[in-house]
Amino acid sequence: MSKTQLFDLEGKVALVSGASRGIGEAIAKLLAQQGAHVIVSSRKLEGCQAVADAIIAEGGKATAIACHIGEMEHITQAFSRIRQDFGRLDILVNNAATNPQFCNVLDTDPGAFQKTVDVNIRGYFFMSVEAGKLMREHQGGSIINVASINGVSPGEFQGVYSMTKAAVINMTKVFAKECAPFGIRCNALLPGLTDTRFASALVKNDAILNAALQHIPLKRVAAPEEMAGAVLYLASEASSYTTGVSLNVDGGYLS
């Protein structure tokens, strides 16, 4: 029996935002291992370049492009370069996100609210719009939005972040329905508690961590690499009839 080619991404161009560390870095590296030319993107070029260099050192193909998805002009500039340098985009992973405030919802700072909305909703939306336009030209592509279990069950003291992730889940369904005629699929990944710097306020606090583990059947925190396999499935031909789905990778938390 021959090996499956369902997960082969040879010849594909993939853009991963927030890819300088954590879940985004793990996704970028796995997509590259499967043959994709990965555009490693985040706010700071240095971090992106380090990940791109690591991919290249392992025999993969990667390019670093700085892009702050909370800034509209950054999105425009990034896609102008992608169109110029590659002429296509097959996979978009919207992973960059922000959660600047950990507090009771009544104490929400207006500036923190706006920043969270600008990145987590507006950023995802217009990254998807620009990617979708490129994908439409080639009649195919896959958009994967990294949402969160908080979009289904709000996290305590993470009100605005949870609201934006709920919006991402609905946004995924919107793009799935309206982009299907162009051969574009759109799905969401809902990570559970994962050991990243982004989640350090939860993972590094023993009291919060122990309380969270009581609700996770697998009784442990995920590693970033454990999110990447699900994204590979959603990015590849293995999921060719899958669109509009929210895939929980949460150790059983939402079950």
User: May I ask the CATH class of domain 13-249?
Assistant: alpha beta
Query: Given this model, what pLDDT does residue 198 score?
Result: 64
CB environment 121-159: b (16+ within 10 A), e (fewer): bbbbbebbebbbebbeeeeebbbbbbbbbbbbebbebbb
Query: Given this model, what pLDDT does residue 211 score?
Result: 84
Query: Given this model, what pLDDT does residue 164 score?
Result: 98
Q: Is the dihedral of CA 158, 164, 168, 170 positive or negative?
A: positive
Sheet of 13-16, strand order: 61-66, 37-42, 13-16, 91-94, 141-146, 184-191, 246-249
Tokens of residue 43, six digits: 């706010």
Angle among Cα 160, 166, 169 to the nearest 5 degrees reads 145
Query: Given this model, what pLDDT does residue 117 score?
Result: 98
User: Structure pTM?
Assistant: 0.95
Query: Given this model, what pLDDT does residue 201 score?
Result: 65
Query: Given this model, what pLDDT does residue 247 score?
Result: 98
3-class secondary-structure state, position 247? strand
- What are the pLDDT tens digits along the chain (255 aa)? 467 799 999 999 999 999 999 999 999 999 999 999 999 999 999 999 999 999 999 999 999 999 999 999 999 999 999 999 999 999 999 999 999 999 999 999 999 999 999 999 999 999 999 999 999 999 999 999 999 999 999 999 999 999 999 999 999 999 999 999 999 999 999 999 998 876 666 667 778 788 889 999 999 999 999 999 999 999 999 999 999 999 999 999 999
3-class secondary-structure state, position 161? helix
In order of 78, 91, 189, 201, 248, the CA distances from 230 in angstroms are 26, 14, 7, 25, 9
Hey, where are the domains in the chain?
A: 13-249
Look-up of token digits 């025999």: 59
Query: Given this model, what pLDDT does residue 207 score?
Result: 80
Q: Quick one: which of 81, 73, 72 has its CA closest to 48?
A: 81
Told to judge if 161 belongs to the known catalytic residues of this protein, a careful annotator would answer yes
DSSP 173-200: HHHHHHHGGGTEEEEEEEE-SB-SSTTH
Q: Which of 161, 233, 241, 253 is catalytic?
A: 161
CB environment 160-183: b (16+ within 10 A), e (fewer): bbbbbbbbbbebbbebbeebeebe
